[in-house]
Amino acid sequence: MNIPKILTPKAMTAYLSAEDTVRQGLEVMKRHGYTAIPVLDDHGAYIGCITEGDFLWHILDTGVTSFKSQERYRIRDLVRRDFCPPLGITAGEDEVVEAVMRQNFVPIVDDRGCFCGIVTRRSVIGALALAVSHQTEKAV
């Protein structure tokens, strides 16, 4: 599987900076309607993901519901580094398929750990369906 062919590049992917405020994170999450968003450090390296549930637990733990008050909290304090592990840009088909069976998208990083973009479950299924279609055509 050629990851670059099915990759949604960083420029077309919603992501957050670890230094963004929780309010900024909530705004991005709401605007895009996602349930999870990648989080990057200030050098563009992927450090983890943040989910709707992470924001909910934060609000419950702090008891702070005011949108304005969320400006004093940072995404770095909520990000889950163990959730949605990334794959390298050269990962094999088996690794990609296994990853999308566990999660809706897979963050893709280069050799330096810098975020390149995401591969979605939909794009992987589409690529596999196309490959099967081509094999069927060759067999006929």
Residues 107, 115: Cα–Cα separation, whole Å: 7
Higher pLDDT, 108 or 127: 108
Q: What is the mean pLDDT of the chain?
A: 93
Coil, strand or helix at 88: strand
CATH T-level assignment (fold) for domain 3-139: CBS-domain (3.10.580)
Coil, strand or helix at 105: strand
Coil, strand or helix at 16: strand
Average pLDDT over residues 35-63: 96
- Which one, of 58, 51, 43, lies nearest residue 81 by Cα? 51
Q: Per-domain residue ranges for the chain?
A: 3-139
Q: What is the predicted pLDDT for the residue at 130?
A: 86
Question: Is the pLDDT score of 75 beyond 90?
Answer: yes
Higher pLDDT, 88 or 132: 88
DSSP string across 35-74: SEEEEE-TTSBEEEEEEHHHHHHHHHHH----TGGGGGSB
Q: What is the pTM of this model?
A: 0.89
Query: What percent of the chain stands above pLDDT 90?
Result: 83
